[in-house]
Amino acid sequence: MSDNRDQNVLRFEHPGLGRKRAKSTPKGRQVDPVALQEVIDLLGDLPRRRDLLIEHLHLIQDRYHQISAAHLAALADEMKLSFAEVFEVATFYAHFDVVKEGEPTIPPLTVRVCDSLTCELYGSEKLIADLKAQAGPDVRIVRAPCVGLCDQAPVAEVGHHFIHQATAQNVAAAIAAGDTHPHVPDDYIDFDAYVANGGYALLGKLRGGEMTVDELLTRLDGAGLRGLGGAGFPTARKWRAVRGEPGPRMMAINADEGEPGTFKDRHYLNTDPHRFLEGTLIGAHVVEAEDVYIYLRDEYPVAREILLREIAKLPAGGPRIHMRRGAGAYICGEESSLLESLEGKRGLPRHKPPYPFQVGLFGLATLINNVETVYWVRDIVEKGAEWWSSQGRNGRVGLRTFSVSGRVKNPGVKLTPAGVTIRELIDEYCGGMQEGHSFKAYLPGGASGGILPAHMDDIPLDFGTLEKYGCFIGSAAVVVMSDKDDIRSAALNLMRFFEDESCGQCTPCRIGTEKAVKLMQKPVWDQELLGELSQTMRDASICGLGQAASNPLTCVIKYFPDEFAPRVAAE
């Protein structure tokens, strides 16, 4: 072969072959220089770390109301990631509107209408149809899972402004006025007001050595405080377990309450954020965490703005607090999925063991707590364990915050003694049933907590009291249904939610929820087949989503036989 050949031309080194190969071209998606500059400008001086990928995707989504293939390629290039890595994350989360190459752009304004159970009871289907009929070319109407405003159903989100008790008229008015930003109230308890009422004194005692960590944990033990995000694990025991692991350690707050019917954490964050922050900082002190990550669902822009304002007012010292936005994935309420998302990945549950308290965020021992759990730490320690444990009813201990929605006169967040019954909750705290509605059924623990009939109204609502009925209290999200509601339709609504929110990692959940929806859409349910399917999902799913998704279904079959008789006769 000649030494003076053109170095850009390659020849086949094979006897008898002298064909030239075409000039090589760079492989993979090419980066558009305009899109790259736009991404660079958006990111500014922010770090290009992998764990910030979702935050950077939010910046693009917020600025352009969609994420183009060009912007994905530019972001991948800027962060030194493959296009596939960025694409798989962006397309995993519902709030990222990814426009693939060759697809039309998305209208500049998106209106999301909640179609979860309570909003469906209050007419979300008609609202969606009305909005689609009147929407112009610059407005896109899409369905959304529960947005955490069930007490204001039905709810629509115009940009990032939520319309309570939405109608086609008030949504149209918001669109016409360009009212697309969150409305942040000014009546919450800010830093100055909180400190004036003794706030952060307990944290100061801990940091100054006036109270030891062991004393604090003993008081939490005495009160019997348990995790209030759904699992109910004893708080002091969890803190000790993390503290017993080798350092360095991390702390993460799960503020991604996506369970349909749940909105208690939003209430506490929007009204008394520093009580939550002080409890968080106390937890971080106990486990000696130098970094705290608050994972807040994207549907809570008001809480995010309040937290950003108030965290900036905290005195210097203590752990670094990092705010992270979810992006519309219910599965990220599961603790290991939350950790994956915090690391900038898809929210896929991890196999256990090891458990997050051993190997958690960035591979370090991690304390994970729910918002409400740490919210009560200051009160319990200052008022004493006896104060907390004396609050129960019907043989139970402590206080419970219920998110109540549905057919009651006064829905909302209700702080009650632990162990109240549904009848007590409706009559004493919600003003009774709405006029013209008779109590028929209730969800004691959100979408995955099962459905019980009205005649089972004397069960104390607490941890450990509902399991024998195929239900659980979970995050204490109560949805009340009446004689005007179809229980089978309600169960189908919940199963559709789980089908849509399944991460797809494991077959029993991914295929099981899809198959269940198809079977439940039929006029007559094949109860034997649905029972087998439910058992398989409970036994073989990786995480709680698939394991609990069939609870409403099995409850309807068990407790509402009359729901089937008319349909069977019609066949």
The answer to whether 276 touches 373, Cβ cutoff 8 Å, is: no
The C-alpha atoms of residue 187 and residue 207 are separated, in whole angstroms, by 30
pLDDT in tens, the chain (571 residues): 444 434 343 333 444 444 555 554 445 678 999 999 999 999 999 999 999 999 999 999 999 999 999 999 999 999 999 999 999 999 999 999 999 988 999 999 999 999 999 999 999 999 999 999 999 999 999 999 999 999 999 999 999 999 999 999 999 999 999 999 999 999 999 999 999 999 999 999 999 999 999 999 999 999 999 999 888 899 999 999 999 999 999 999 999 999 999 999 999 999 999 999 999 999 999 999 999 999 999 999 999 999 999 999 999 889 999 999 999 999 999 999 999 999 999 999 999 999 999 999 999 999 999 999 999 999 999 999 999 989 999 999 999 999 999 999 999 999 999 999 999 999 999 999 999 999 999 999 999 999 999 999 999 999 999 999 999 999 999 999 999 999 999 999 999 999 999 999 999 999 999 999 999 999 999 999 999 999 999 999 999 999 999 999 999 999 999 886 544 444 4
The C-alpha atoms of residue 443 and residue 565 are separated, in whole angstroms, by 22
The C-alpha atoms of residue 473 and residue 493 are separated, in whole angstroms, by 19
The C-alpha atoms of residue 499 and residue 511 are separated, in whole angstroms, by 8
The C-alpha atoms of residue 536 and residue 516 are separated, in whole angstroms, by 12
The C-alpha atoms of residue 569 and residue 326 are separated, in whole angstroms, by 47
The C-alpha atoms of residue 154 and residue 263 are separated, in whole angstroms, by 14
pLDDT score recorded for residue 5: 39
Chain centre to alpha carbon of residue 154: 19
pLDDT score recorded for residue 16: 41
Listed residue (108, 44, 102, 43) closest to 69, CA to CA: 102
Q: Where are the alpha helices (DSSP H) in 295-376?
A: 301-311, 335-342, 371-375
Which residues, listed in sequence order, are joined to residue 285 by a DSSP beta bridge?
Answer: none
Listed residue (564, 486, 555) closest to 525, CA to CA: 564
The answer to whether 225 touches 398, Cβ cutoff 8 Å, is: yes
> Hey, what are 256's tokens?
């991604």
Chain centre to alpha carbon of residue 78: 29
The single residue listed with the structure tokens 């007001």 is 193
The C-alpha atoms of residue 410 and residue 393 are separated, in whole angstroms, by 22
Q: How far is CA 482 from CA 222, 410, 438, 455, in A?
A: 40, 15, 5, 12
Q: How does strand 477-482 pair with strand 320-325? A: unpaired
SS3 sequence, 258-304? Answer: CCCCCCHHHHHHHHCHHHHHHHHHHHHHHHCEEEEEEEECCCCHHHH
Listed residue (489, 436, 425) closest to 461, CA to CA: 425
The C-alpha atoms of residue 124 and residue 153 are separated, in whole angstroms, by 8
3-state class of 469 per DSSP? helix
